[in-house]
Amino acid sequence: MMQRLSVSKWSRRFSALFWDGVAALLVLGLVVFLAQASRDFMQPLVESGHDVISLDPSALPEYALRTSLRMLLAMVLSLIFTFTYATWAAKSWRAEQILIPLLDILQSVPVLGFISITVVFFLSFAPGKMLGAELASVFAIFTSQAWNMAFSFYQSLHTVPRELDEVSRSFRLSPWMRFWKLEVPFAMPALIWNMMMSMSGSWFFVVASEAISVGDTIVTLPGIGSYIALAIDQRDLGAIGWAIAVMLIVILIYDQLLFRPLVAWADRFRFEQETGGMPPPHSWVLTVLHRSQWITFTTALFARIWRWTYRKSQQPARKKAFTWKGTGTNLKPWVDWLWYGTITVVCAIISWKITFFILQEVALAEVGTAMFLGFITMVRVFVLIAVASVIWVPVGVWLGLRPGAARIAQPIAQFMAAFPANLLFPPAVYGIVVLQLDPDIWLSPLMILGTQWYILFNVIAGASTIPGELHDISANLGVRGWLWWRRIALPAVFPFYVTGAITASGGSWNASIVAEIVSWGSTTLQAHGLGAYITEATVAGDFHRVALGIAVMSAFVVVINRLFWRPLYALAERKFRLG
């Protein structure tokens, strides 16, 4: 008996040491990754086009390292932005009136628009150093990630089940505790799926964010995006094949080390009132972290500090807020008038400045031309979103109800979402030229190539949160076929679909900059549209026409969202809210 106990004791010790060793390797590997990828940030800046890039496949691991670090930094910034911006918009109706339309505009502004405006600022931030160009690239990637995540979190905050809200009020949770104990956990499953989509979507614009060309300013950063740009310029199909292979490897590594553990961890936050049902997702990385005593000790210290913040937030305020007792004065109308007046004045000043800047070099007739080009792009966006919805909503519901199938499809969908449109330029240009097709029609699918996945990922997230009792009730009542879709599936995923469709719509406008004008070597094809207009102006360094294109695109997106998407969003929040 004593010998058996001794063996069991040594077995437990060996198991603990094994898991601690694996966890230490993961953490140290992350540290080495960050150090290796960031070692050249303070090196002198080289502004010599593609001279700093080699198409030798042996250089791709280092390029992948640099690109991965930029995306990871942009993801951290996007999370900070999401938790602050979206929360402010959801909690304050006055802020919501400005922040949500502003978010509509920001998601529609092309990456080239952000680069053309900010690249000079970031380069002057660290003159002559790679750091300035790296910051410009990270910011450009951030603009392809943050808006989708913010919309998802904002939608989740507005659809918290009423019974959970009542429980939090019954326990008198402070706003800080309510945020971290209720709202963030409820939003986490959908947010993680949108983080995956944002990470994949940033691959779509990686060429524009690493091979920066604005007028006379040409900056090429070592990375997969610059590698792809040079391969396209030199019509090197072999190099493009190597780039695709490395992208697939990086996406699989991200899936195993980051997103799959997050999906498995967030499964505990699914809104479900009964146990059992579908088996939970698993992750070997999460298993390692759970079984490591070193990680457990570290997280325990962090949890103790976090609980201290909860206790501090629950303490009553020492000073009472000033009240207007006895004055009989109702301040709310005056505050509203002041608020709206300030907004009106600020908007008038900004509009006058933009108009004056544009009309310095652009004739009024060209403004009308830009509006007409915007109408053409709008038609493309609506048609493509409708087609993508018909295809991917049923697929997303099917995957969301089958976690095993979703785990298999997840990396595939991530890779397809990450596939840059630039890599399809060779077959697109070749097919259109040989078959003498109309570029206005056959270049359009490139716009939806990367953005259709916003719909799929959001619908998967929505279907995965359908409570198990709904499945049981529908099975007991024999609800099947179209009745099941109309009464259960579509109402359950509708809020998530609207969020995905809004983001896909804005992303399609953004993607028009790479889809409406394509090049393969010396052959260039151009479709009529606002995206091609902005691309031409950016390459020429014509900031007046860049501003005109962005202003027209923003106006179209705001009007469409206000007249079409926002009413659908309000309907989803009012009629299809859980609880």
Interior/surface letters 540-554, b for 16+ CB within 10 angstroms, e for the rest? eebbebbbbbbbbbb
Record the pTM.
Answer: 0.73
Helix extents (H) in 478-528 = 481-484, 490-515
**What is the token pair recorded at 292?**
């490591």
Task: Give the CATH number, domain containing residue 544.
Answer: 1.10.3720.10
Please state, in angstroms and rounded to a whole number, the distance separating the CA atoms of residues 103 and 389. 22
pLDDT at 300: 77
In a domain, 223, yes or no: yes
Q: Express each pLDDT in 545-566 by its tens digit.
A: 888 888 888 888 888 888 888 7
pLDDT at 42: 56
Position 317 pLDDT exceeds 60: no
Neighbours of 364 (CB within 10 A): 7
pLDDT at 545: 86
Structural domains of the chain, count: 1
In a domain, 225, yes or no: yes
In a domain, 28, yes or no: no
Tell me the β-bridge partners of 517.
526
Distance of CA 543 to the CA centre of its chain: 27
Instruction: Tell me if 225 sits within 8 A of 67, measured CB to CB.
Output: yes
- Domain residues for the domain of 182 are 64-271+281-309+336-575
Tell me the β-bridge partners of 40.
none
Please state, in angstroms and rounded to a whole number, the distance separating the CA atoms of residues 381 and 384. 5
In a domain, 404, yes or no: yes
**What is the token pair recorded at 547?**
């501003």
Position 84 pLDDT exceeds 90: yes
Average pLDDT for 519-544: 81
Q: 517: helix, coil or strand?
A: strand
Q: Give the burial class of 179: count Cβ atoms within 10 A of its Cβ; 0-12 exposed, 13-18 middle, 19 or more buried.
A: middle
50 pLDDT band, cuts 50/70/90, is very low
What are the C-alpha distances in Å from 176 to residues 167, 232, 517? 15, 50, 48
428 pLDDT band, cuts 50/70/90, is confident
Please state, in angstroms and rounded to a whole number, the distance separating the CA atoms of residues 70 and 142. 9
In a domain, 151, yes or no: yes
Q: What percentage of the chain reaches a pLDDT higher than 90?
A: 7
In a domain, 142, yes or no: yes
276 pLDDT band, cuts 50/70/90, is very low
Half-sphere exposure in the Cβ direction for 138 (13 Å, CA)? 21
Name the residue with higher pLDDT: 473 or 224: 224
Distance of CA 134 to the CA centre of its chain: 20
In a domain, 36, yes or no: no
Q: Which helix (H) or strand (E) holds 151?
A: helix 146-158
Instruction: Tell me if 70 sits within 8 A of 199, measured CB to CB.
Output: no
- Mean pLDDT over the full length of the chain: 77
Helix extents (H) in 110-174 = 111-125, 130-143, 146-158, 162-170
In a domain, 44, yes or no: no
Angle, CA 26 vertex, CA 20 and CA 30 arms, to 5°: 140
